[in-house]
Amino acid sequence: MSNVPGMMSSGSEPDARGVNLDEKKRKRMISNRESARRSRMKKQKLLEDLVTEVASLKVQIHNNTNNYEALMQKIVVLESENNALKVQQMELAQYLKNLQLMQTQMEWLEFNLMNQPGRTLCDIIVDINEPPKVQSWQCHGSNQPAIMASTE
């Protein structure tokens, strides 16, 4: 508060009050400055923490990208190997079918050899390789088997 001109005061009462007010104002200013300083430091610390976190996340992204690329390369290799194995499986399945067919034919030949004494394996193979004898009453496409063993 300011002194009003014309008012006379006795002693230091108005001066003490003014000094008291100035002291409170000065303490408040110091307190506000300290609070503002703490607030700035807090914001600076938060900013530093965020910058550190961003750097850490960038490193993590880089590592994850490298891992992803390595895994994708492995997937390509494994898919290629898988396709090659599928082709090999199909080839082996066909080979197995052919072996089973050969086994069936060998069993059929053995059966014919056992049931036709006096005939040799060569006789039966010749009969298999010769075209079937068609009688005049038979027509092509009849339900007769294409391979017939002769019982002559």
Cα separation, 81 vs 64, whole angstroms: 25
Does 3 fall in a domain?
no
Q: What is the CA radius of gyration of the chain?
A: 54
What is the domain range of residue 43? Answer: 19-125
Burial class (CB in 10 A: 0-12, 13-18, 19+), 15: exposed
Cα separation, 152 vs 145, whole angstroms: 18
Whether residue 151 is predicted with pLDDT greater than 80 in this model: the reply is no
Q: Output the pLDDT for position 139.
A: 55
Q: What is the pLDDT of residues 1-31, one digit of tens each?
A: 444 444 444 555 667 777 788 889 999 999 9
Does 7 fall in a domain?
no
Query: What pTM, to 2 d.p., does this model score?
Result: 0.46
Q: Are 134 and 140 in contact (CB under 8 A)?
A: yes
Q: Domains in the chain: how many in total?
A: 1
Does 49 fall in a domain?
yes
Does 151 fall in a domain?
no
Q: Output the pLDDT for position 33.
A: 96
Cα separation, 84 vs 81, whole angstroms: 5
Find the Cα–Cα–Cα–Cα dihedral 115, 121, 124, 130, rounded to 10°. Answer: 180
Does 45 fall in a domain?
yes
The pair of three-digit structure tokens given for residue 110, joined into one six-digit string: 């053995």
Q: Output the pLDDT for position 44.
A: 97
Cα separation, 1 vs 13, whole angstroms: 12
Does 136 fall in a domain?
no
DSSP E strand boundaries for 60-103: none
> What pLDDT band is residue 116 in, cutting at 50, 70 and 90?
confident
Q: What is the pLDDT of residues 65-98, one digit of tens each?
A: 999 999 999 999 999 999 999 999 999 999 999 9
Whether residue 141 is predicted with pLDDT greater than 90 in this model: the reply is no
Does 146 fall in a domain?
no
Does 23 fall in a domain?
yes
Q: Are 102 and 117 in contact (CB under 8 A)?
A: no
